[in-house]
Structure 1
Amino acid sequence: MIDFLLNNSGEILSKSMEHLFIAAISLFFGVLIAVPLGIFLTRSKTTAKIVMAIASVLQTVPSFALLALMIPIFGVGKKPAIVSLFIYSLLPILRNTYLGIAGVNDKLIDAAKGMGMTRSQILLKVQIPMAMPVIMSGIRLSAIYVLAWTTLASYVGAGGLGDFIFNGLTNAIMPMVVWGTIPVTLMAIIVDFFFGILEDKLSPNKTSEVA
């Protein structure tokens, strides 16, 4: 087991960086789309229900099926993997953003209006800061999901640690499976810890303490 690590440390590191890159890009676009969309949906409950339903349906599509659907459009490689993982990342972020913004106490909003704040100022200075822990919780959950699902990217030629895991399983090389799995697990733990700290730092109570 140790011999395999020593002989393949460079490739393990390379696959880990590739894995992290695919997951990070997918999550980045998920946040970029889902957070503004979640905020926008708070303006219409009917639209929110429709969009949430669509996002829920997309997430129920089996990962292999979604990857297969992307191949005719994007070919093989990183593009179909990133698009599929982006789609899977949307729901937790979208749902938590919507619930976080919608759940801000009406009294706080009324007080902000009484102070003469505009709609944009209320959103930026009251609603988003108050909803930030809930939003970050959704991003944190999505990050863990995406890191785990990125292992499947190897099936469409995207690379990553899935190459080690599935090649090891196919050829019954257990050290390859183990050293494909360990970095994924470590990355998930580290990312969860990092986002947990960030979620705590961005909570209104912590922000006010620092101020």
Structure 2
Amino acid sequence: MLDFLSTRWADVLFRTYQHGSLVVQSVALATVVAIVLAVLVTRSRTLTPIANAVSAIGLTIPSFALIGLLIPLVGIGTVPAVLVVVFYAVLPILRNTIVGLRSVDPGVLESARGLGMGPAALFFRVSLPLAWPIILTGIRVAAQMSMGVAAIAAYVLGPGLGDYIYRGLATVGGANALNYALVGTVGIVVVALILDGLLVLLGRLTTSKGITA
């Protein structure tokens, strides 16, 4: 294993960076999309159960099947990888965002309106901060799930450590098959733990002390 890493450490580090970058950027995009959708959904009580149902059904779609559907539309490479990761990341974030926004006390919102806050100020200064801990939980779930989805995206030549796993499986019995699979798997676990730790830190820095008290 040490010999394997010593001859490929630069490539391992680059693929690790690619994997983390793909997940972080995709989850960030998914967060924006999910929050916008949640704002629209929470304006109508009839849309909330529909959105929750779509979220649940979406998670049952096999990632391989979704990738297969995207190949004729966008080809192979980074684009389908990003689309797949964003799709799956949106689902838990959307559900948690709906729950978070629904949990905001109507009395607090009414008091804010009485102070003269407009819709934008009401959302960014009251609703979003109060719902943020629940939203962040959804983001953490999405980030961890996206690590595995990003690995599967290597099937369409997407960036990241998934290629090492596929290479190891494709050369089972070969000299470095196990090394490829182990490096890819362990690398993804390490990146996942680091990202989750950063999200925990983000939560501590961005959550109002009044909420956590």
What is the TM-score when the length of structure 2 is the normalising length? 0.91
Shift in Å at residue 208 of structure 1? 9.3
Report the Cα distance in structure 1 between the residues aligned to 2:165 and 2:211, rounded to whole angstroms.
42
Task: Verify: 1:162 aligned to 2:166, yes or no.
Answer: no
Shift of 1:159: 3.4
Change (3 A) 1:6 1:137: same
**1:1-211 matched pairs, under 5 angstroms:** 1-172=1-172, 173-205=177-209
Amino acid across the alignment from 2:62: P
In the alignment, structure 1 segments of 5+ residues that lack a partner are none
Calculate the TM-score normalised by the size of structure 1: 0.92
SS in 2 for 1:159: coil
- SS of corresponding position for 2:46: helix
Partners of 2:25 and 2:99 lie apart in 1 by 25
State how many pairs are aligned: 209
Does 94-103 or 51-60 show the bigger shift? 51-60
Q: State the Cα deviation string for residues 43-94 of structure 1 (Å, max 9, x = none).
A: 1011222233223322211011111111010111111111111110111111
SS at match of 1:45: coil
Q: Is contact 1:133–1:203 with CA below 8 Å preserved after alignment?
A: yes
What amino acid is the match of 1:110?
Answer: E
Q: CA deviation at 1:114?
A: 2.8
Name the amino acid aligned to 2:73. I
Indicate the larger mover: 94-103 or 14-23.
14-23
Q: Which amino acid in 2 is paired with 1:45?
A: R
Q: Structure 2 unaligned runs (5+)? A: none
The whole-number CA distance in structure 1 between the counterparts of 2:103 and 2:44 is: 14
The structural deviation recorded for 1:207 is: 8.0
State the Cα RMSD in Å.
1.8
